Each structure stands twice: as C-alpha cells, then as structure tokens.
Amino acid sequence: MDVAIVGGGAAGFFAAIAVKENYPDASVVIFEKSKNILAKVKVSGGGRCNLTNGCSSIKQLADAYPRGGKALSRAFRLFSNKDTMQWFESRNVPLVIQEDDCVFPHSQNSQSVIDCFLEETRKLKIDIELERGIKAIQKVGTQLQLVFVGKELPPRSFDKVIVATGGSPKRSDLVWLEKLKHKIEAPVPSLFTFKMPDEPVAELMGVVVENTLVSIQGSKFNAEGPLLITHWGMSGPAILKLSALGARLLHEKGYNFKIQVNWTNVRNNDVVLAHLKSIVADHPKKILANFRPYALPDRLWSYLLVKSFLSAEKKWGELGKTGLNRIVNVLTNDVYVVQGQTQFRDEFVTCGGVNLESIDFNTMQSKVCENLYFAGEVLDIDGITGGYNFQAAWTTAFIAAQLN
C-alpha cells in the first residue's frame, strides 16, 4: 500500500508515523511544499511548544474549541490529551504540566518534539520530500493521483492520501480541495491581539491583570483570564480567547469594535459594590491611591481613578454614593475602542477550512472522495490558547492513520 501525506507539519508527521506503525509494510511519504518541515512546531509557545492541555475531562477539552468541539468530543474518546502525553513520554520526550494546565516538553524546547518526529520517521523509513506543493488531486481508478506545482514534476499515484496542510490564510489556497466537491469555510484569523491606537491605556504597557472578564460589546462572546496591556493595545490569554470565540464576527466588523473589560472578574456588580462599601467601612481614612481593591496593579488603579474623575488623594470615606458608583462602573464595565488586530505571523491560527460536513469524523475520510483523509488545521477546527490546536492535530491524525 502506497500512502501520501500532504503537509510536513504537526498533523502530517503524526499521521505518517501512525500509518507506518499501523501498516508496517506500507510505503509512506510526506510531501512538504516549503523548504522547512515542522515550522509551526518550532516557533509555537515561544519556541517551547505547548503540546496539549492537561485538563481532566473530555468535556472540558472539547469546550475549548469555538469550532469543531462537538465533533472532537467523540474523537477524543479515541485519542485524548492523556493519550498524547503517553505517546510523547513513551518516545523519550518527558513532559511537564504547568499550573495553567499547559503541557510542555520538560526541556522547554520545541526541538525536543522535532527531534522525536525525525527519529521516528528515520526509524520507520518514512520518506520526506521538500518543495513538493500539490495543486490538484485526481481520481485514477481506485487510486488518487497527486499533481505537483511545477511542470518538471510528473504526477504520482497513491492508494491512500492524508491531507494535513495546516491552516490557510487565503481561501484560494483551498480551491484544489473545493474542486473535489468539499465544502470550504472561508478562512479568517483566530487568536490575535487587539490594537487600540487611540486609547491612552497603552501607556501602561507591561501591566498584567491575572483575573479579568472581557467581552465584545453587543455580542454574547466573553472570555476570562489574564490580560496584558501592550504598547499597541491589549493581549494575553483573555484577549486571545475572545479573538477565537468572535473570529468571524470581528472579521465582519473589519476589526473595528468595542470591548468591555471587567477588571474584577466578578459578574455581579452588587457584589463589587458591597466589597467597596466594606472598604469604606473598614478603612475610611485610607486614601484611594494607597488602598487598591482586588489587588489591582498600582499603575492601572491610578489610571482608572483618573478615568473616573476621582482624585488619588481622596479618602475612601469621602467617596459618597456617586464616587462609589463611578468606581464600580470603571472596574466592571471599562470600555475600549479596538481598531485592528495583530497576528502572530509564525504561529497564526485560522478559523475556517474544510467544512466538517464533508468529513466522516469516525474515520476522517472524505465523504466525496474515497481514500482521501484529513487531519489538523486544514479542517474548520480551531481552539483557544493552551495547546488545544495541537491536540486537535494529534487526534485527527491518529484517526486518519487508521485508513478505515
């Protein structure tokens, strides 16, 4: 049996290794369109490679995917995050689980993952061919013929083909799959930071607030977690999660919208007001500058007081009803204007790809082209931060490699 893997990234390598382990006599070759393999693995997680997430249940795992979570909840029963961790550790890549459940190689270096894949492909005698872009797949009898970019490369036929080309920033990159009658969801960016060129909050660059609740004004989308103020606007897990949840909406808005930041991460304003009243009762002579609610960073608290038109030298006992309401409002409903997004160029994640209706998720085989399978981010699947996108790649590649 001759098997082709289209794409030399995370899903492609994982699928190739699994195919060869499942079918030792098969001939397996990876075709990568560029000169570099595993490029996204190399730079992910700041070069540390966040392999998966250590969350404890399949439901919790599946809930981390704005798109594809329902289908993945079934797939994770076949290959979960626990299976991922066992897979790598059994191949001499020890792992560590951080407090936030992100899972990294113990080496804190993505090269450990790359070396593991290269060693496995060498040991299993999997061929790797670089600069082999595919522009079409044609049915030739029971086989699939790959047509390469460039006239000098003749077409080659295979019994099975797994497409693992990763996320495509342009819809045009997916036309060759659309011609096979697959439904395509137009790709748009996911996991990006927010630009706020006209907001003075950027002067607080470097400030981190550990527990925030951020929402897109006028929508149902909200996300919790740490928020980082940058010189261009806002970033951090809460912002990245929100960008993933609202990826299509924000694209439709041309990335011009407003967000509401709750710096307390307490959803009930009456609870916040009660907390502030207790400060007034217990510390009436403390000045505002010296007593920060919710352990807010000094610079941020000073900024919020100015935004609320309150003197930092005013005493808590002198606030009165109006002053307290101003603080409650700025703590729980602080509004900022976003004008644009900033992507991580090397780590970009897309919302969109091959629609899951075109795929039999029990096998990852195409419903419209027999012997053609899919794995990874080429599918309309994307997760929030924390190793979820890699986990989707490992799981779908594992299932595709059964070649059922």
Tell me the per-residue pLDDT of 257-287, one tens digit each, with 9 for 90 and over: 999 999 999 999 999 999 999 999 999 999 9
Residues 337 and 349 occupy one common structural domain? no
| Mean pLDDT, residues 132-146 | 96
Angstrom distances, CA of residue 91 to CA of 137, 209, 301, 361: 34, 38, 49, 27
The residue from 296, 322, 342 where one domain ends is: 342
Determine how β-strand 334-339 pairs with β-strand 256-262: antiparallel
Whole-number pLDDT of residue 343: 74
Q: What does the alpha-carbon distance between residue 279 and residue 271 come to, in Å, rounded to a whole number?
A: 13
Cβ–Cβ < 8 Å for 340, 330 = no
Cβ–Cβ < 8 Å for 398, 186 = no
Residues 21 and 146 occupy one common structural domain? yes
Length of the chain: 404
Residues 307 and 361 occupy one common structural domain? no
* Tally of domains in the chain: 2
Whole-number pLDDT of residue 27: 98
| Mean pLDDT, residues 139-143 | 94
Per-residue pLDDT band for 112 (boundaries 50, 70, 90) equals very high
Whole-number pLDDT of residue 168: 86
Per-residue pLDDT band for 345 (boundaries 50, 70, 90) equals low
Tokens 């795929």 correspond to: 359
Burial of 286: CB neighbours in 10 Å, binned 0-12, 13-18, 19+: middle
Cα angle 144, 146, 152 (rounded to 5 degrees) comes to 150
Q: Select from 253, 294, 303, 291 the least CA-distant residue to 275.
A: 294
The dihedral through the CA atoms of 24, 25, 26, 32 has a sign that is positive
Alpha helices (runs of H) in 38-80, residue ranges in sequence order: 39-47, 58-62, 69-75
| Mean pLDDT, residues 112-130 | 98
Structural tokens at position 2: 């001759």
Q: Is 28's pLDDT higher than 60? A: yes
Tell me the per-residue pLDDT of 350-370, one tens digit each, with 9 for 90 and over: 899 999 999 999 999 999 999
Residues 247 and 229 occupy one common structural domain? yes
Per-residue pLDDT band for 83 (boundaries 50, 70, 90) equals very high
Q: What does the alpha-carbon distance between residue 46 and residue 48 come to, in Å, rounded to a whole number?
A: 6
Q: What does the alpha-carbon distance between residue 124 and residue 321 come to, in Å, rounded to a whole number?
A: 72
Residues 264 and 131 occupy one common structural domain? no
Residues 388 and 371 occupy one common structural domain? yes
Burial of 203: CB neighbours in 10 Å, binned 0-12, 13-18, 19+: exposed
Percent of the chain at pLDDT above 70? Answer: 99
CA 60 to chain centre: 15
Q: Among 42-46, 60-64, 292-296, which is the least confidently predicted range?
A: 42-46
Q: Is 320's pLDDT higher than 90? A: yes
Residue 392's domain is classified under what CATH number? 3.50.50.60
Residues 174 and 215 occupy one common structural domain? no
Residues 144 and 202 occupy one common structural domain? no
Per-residue pLDDT band for 149 (boundaries 50, 70, 90) equals very high
Tell me the per-residue pLDDT of 189-242, one tens digit each, with 9 for 90 and over: 999 999 999 999 999 999 999 999 999 999 999 999 999 999 999 999 999 999
Helix (H, G, I), strand (E, B) or coil at 132: coil
Tell me the per-residue pLDDT of 279-317, one tens digit each, with 9 for 90 and over: 999 999 999 999 999 999 999 999 999 999 999 999 999
pTM of the model: 0.90
The residue from 294, 315, 342 where one domain ends is: 342
| Residues spanned by the domain of 246 | 192-342
Whole-number pLDDT of residue 346: 54
Which backbone phi and psi does 358 adopt, to 5 degrees?
Answer: -85, -5
Residues 213 and 265 occupy one common structural domain? yes
Cβ–Cβ < 8 Å for 14, 364 = no
The dihedral through the CA atoms of 207, 208, 209, 214 has a sign that is positive
Q: What does the alpha-carbon distance between residue 24 and residue 359 come to, in Å, rounded to a whole number?
A: 26
Residues 387 and 361 occupy one common structural domain? yes
Whole-number pLDDT of residue 296: 97
Residues 120 and 218 occupy one common structural domain? no
Residues 177 and 207 occupy one common structural domain? no
Structural tokens at position 301: 């608290």
Per-residue pLDDT band for 326 (boundaries 50, 70, 90) equals very high
The residue from 293, 308, 342 where one domain ends is: 342
